[in-house]
Amino acid sequence: MLCVALVLAAGTATAAPNRLIDSGSPYLLQHAHNPVDWYPWGPEAIEKARREGKPIFISVGYSTCYWCHVANRTLYQDPAIAALLNEGFVSIKIDREQRPDLDRLFMAATGALTGGGGWPNNVFLTPDLEPFFAGSYFPPTDDEFGRPGFITVLMAIREEWRLRRGNLGARARKLATALREQARPAAAEVSQAAWREAALKAVEPNLDREYGGVRTARNSKFPQPALLDYLLAEHAARPNPALLAAVTRALDAMAAGGIHDHLGGGFHRYTVERTWSVPHFEKTLYDNAQLLALYAQGFRLTGKTAWREVATGIATHLARDMEAAEGGFYTALDAGVGGEEGRPYLWSRGEIEAVLGAEPTRRFLATYELHPASPRERADPLAEEAGVLRLRTAAAGAQAAQPAALARLLAARMQRPQPARDEKQVVALNGLAIAALASSAQALRAPAQLEQARRAGERLWSRAWDERGRKLAHELFRGRPQGNGLLEDYAHLARGFLALHEAGAGAVWRSRARQTIEAALARLRRPDGRLAASTDSVRLPIPLDDAEDYAYPSGTSAAVEVLLRLGEPAQLEAAAGALRAAAGQIAAAPYRWPALLAVLARHDAVATRALVETAAVKADEPRQNESAAHVAVAATLRPQPGAVVLELSLQVEDGWHVNANPASFAYLVPTKLLIANAVPRRIVYPQGKPFAPRFAPEPIRVYEGKVAIRAEFPPGGADGMRARLSVQACNETVCLAPSTLDVPLR
């Protein structure tokens, strides 16, 4: 199987501009002078691939990604590599911050193909958009570690495509089918208690009881604020000293570690080892917004003043480094300067002495240490080697012990070359920041934070919200709105507006929150209650569902929270529908939905119980709003020469239909026969009839009335077999929650 690991970059202008020159993405603009014939995502590139019969090369990254910069320098500015890409492929660049929905989709493909993933994320697709090969960074040529070079990879794929295209296509179709099934698991009961219990059971064995946080296979550490916030929410709902201790270990360790910018405030993206000492130096708005809310919430629960100081430092960082003059916040700061990671942030003892003097430096380094930038060595603090500032473990909590020294060092650092800033103002990420600043302003005694949040809210309402069209843009770039709003944009901005209202900024913010979330429901709510991630016009073989809490809470999690907090009957029903539709995904891996579980834990009161009861799916008591209430099924096993045949009869109620197999759209659930304890030779589904619903741009194929499905087994191969049928019932205006029915055998 073709499986390798890839990564990308950005660099200097060396060629005539390509199609990316007109982009509104800083990341795509970094590649606008590559000799590669890049296309932005859209129908033009896909139609070209289909017309010319070429595979598609998708490269997903973002402007502050260190390895994306490396790949730009070493790969995409190379004329030989560009020639291979231009001759054999249609190449598409995607900014993951502009299209987080596509980022999740292609990262799922990479995970399925390689077992890992990272950025840049590179995926090769058939012209039908089905993935067959993926990875991250390649060196330009084969290296001494046995890694194949990018040239080798491109030539191998080109040759495989030329000689064995059918094999690649079959592999791609198989993977696409698996990803579809993963995105749409069987319907499940909505049970917040079971989800929360399962999530805690999955998380607790992986907690790092020595250094805090969650252990990973590679020893890298991410803050995972949504998960820590969920543990705090569980403790607040049902006091649990073990959970509070786990959060305390993590927050204390991160605050003391090199992942924390002790001079400028805020946190870097992650560390490359488990002690939180050696960071990857990029800083993102989404991490720092969530960590501001988390440390402030921790302070409210525990009264730990050190956490209040950390939260205040994050807010200061956002105001100084990330806030636009007109209001609102930029997306991220690069990891380094001039291709050198961490360059602005590293210090030697001599450099500190040059700023503070010898004796103040001695006192300063009694509280702080210089940890070597390589995790494989331990530092001698007296060495001239540049290191990462972190608190000595015994001094954890002494952040404010030497404010004058910290301020002088920060002033000196600001004279160094500064990391580049991605100046997109992404609506969802600004919603996160607005909510964090507004909700923590009172606890931190910081009225200026509430004003920051209000200014950001006004900026987005005036520039990103289209009052006439009742719709939201995805981002502002150079002051202009661009891109269609995604579910996460609507949901997180509405959540930020609610936080402003609850912080006392005025009733207008609740009204704006309601308008925003109602616009999301009008545009993105599917007939079965599912919340689609986007309204992308490109028809994909894998549904663009909003799935799990990734680097920050998903649009589904944020939307359910907003609907629950607004609390009106129609909004509670919309939240219930979203939970019903996502229940299969959540039940399959509840620990991947910590933000949603935190919402359910915090609102575990009358409204939430009513919501969950409204959403509950009980297979033995089908309700009129469930598919099982509108279908009946039975089957007969009949021996035939050389085979045993299961003849299934499905009766669909008049006025209703179920989706054909395959379904006409990725977001529709096909009628599917599920066999346990046996392996059929084949399953034969009828073709179905065309039907033109109001929600689809073209007719779909459906089953109506009496439907026959056949499954063929080898002789004796059906002994002990159990059958179930998954269906989604629809009428002219609505599709119900899918049901899975046991098939009685006659």
| Superfamily covering domain 627-742 | Thiol:disulfide interchange protein DsbD, N-terminal domain (2.60.40.1250)
Taking the complete model, does pTM exceed 0.75, yes or no?
Answer: yes
Sheet holding 657-659, edge to edge: 689-691, 700-703, 657-659, 729-730
What is d(CA 33, CA 30) in angstroms, rounded to the nearest whole number? 7
pLDDT at 528 over 90: no
Q: Which helix (H) or strand (E) holds 657?
A: strand 657-659
Instruction: Give the mean pLDDT of the chain.
Output: 87
- The pLDDT assigned to 517 comes to 97
Q: Give the least confident one: 258-262, 383-387, 503-507.
A: 383-387
Q: Tens of pLDDT along 238-271?
A: 889 999 999 999 999 999 999 999 999 999 999 9
Say if CB 510 and CB 57 are below 8 A apart.
no
SS3 (DSSP) at 712: strand
Q: Tens of pLDDT along 340-363?
A: 888 899 999 999 999 999 999 999
Residue pointed to by tokens 């980022």: 103
More confidently predicted of 103 and 607: 103
- Chain centroid to Cα 135, Å, comes to 18
Report the candidate in 490, 447, 443, 432 with the shortest Cα–Cα distance to residue 289. Answer: 432
The CATH architecture to which 426-615 belongs is Alpha/alpha barrel (1.50)
Q: How confident is the model at residue 502 (pLDDT cuts 50, 70, 90)?
A: very high
Report the candidate in 142, 5, 10 with the shortest Cα–Cα distance to residue 68. Answer: 10
Amino acid at position 477, single letter: F
Q: Tens of pLDDT along 189-220?
A: 778 889 999 999 999 999 999 999 998 877 88
Residue 185 burial (CB < 10 Å; 0-12/13-18/19+)?
middle
Q: Domain coordinates of the chain in residue numbers?
A: 19-183, 220-422, 426-615, 627-742
Say if CB 226 and CB 297 are below 8 A apart.
no
Q: Which backbone phi and psi does 217 adopt, to 5 degrees?
A: -65, -30
Q: Which backbone phi and psi does 92 adopt, to 5 degrees?
A: -125, 130
Q: What residues pair up with 638 in beta bridges, in sequence order? A: 645
| Superfamily covering domain 19-183 | Glutaredoxin (3.40.30.10)
Q: How confident is the model at residue 694 (pLDDT cuts 50, 70, 90)?
A: low
Report the candidate in 638, 640, 639 with the shortest Cα–Cα distance to residue 649. Answer: 638
Please, what is the Cα angle at 29 between 24 and 32, to 5 degrees?
125
Rounded to the nearest 10 degrees, the angle between the axes of helix 358-367 and helix 349-356 is 120
Beta carbons within 8 Å of 126's beta carbon, 6+ residues apart: 55, 56, 132, 168, 169, 172
- The pLDDT assigned to 617 comes to 40
Q: How confident is the model at residue 229 (pLDDT cuts 50, 70, 90)?
A: very high
- The pLDDT assigned to 449 comes to 95
Residue pointed to by tokens 């989800």: 195
SS3 (DSSP) at 446: coil
Say if CB 671 and CB 726 are below 8 A apart.
yes
What is d(CA 219, CA 216) in angstroms, rounded to the nearest whole number? 5
Q: Tens of pLDDT along 622-652?
A: 445 578 888 999 999 989 998 999 999 999 9
Q: How confident is the model at residue 47 (pLDDT cuts 50, 70, 90)?
A: very high
Q: Which long-range contacts (CB under 8 A, 24 or more apart) does 469-474 make?
A: 470/515, 470/519, 470/522, 471/519, 471/523, 472/427, 472/516, 472/519, 472/520, 473/427, 474/98, 474/426, 474/427
Give the E-state strand segments of 237-365 in sequence order.
270-271, 279-280, 283-284, 332-333, 336-337, 340-341
Please, what is the Cα angle at 177 between 174 and 182, to 5 degrees?
125
Say if CB 704 and CB 689 are below 8 A apart.
yes
Half-sphere CA count of 237, side-chain side, radius 13 A: 18
| β-strands 672-676, 722-727 pairing | antiparallel
List, as one string, the DSSP characters of 310-341.
Answer: HHHHHHHHIIIIIB-TTSSB--EE-SEETTEE
| β-strands 706-713, 643-652 pairing | antiparallel
More confidently predicted of 471 and 603: 471
- The pLDDT assigned to 395 comes to 52
426-615 has the same fold as 19-183: no
Q: Tens of pLDDT along 360-370?
A: 999 999 999 99
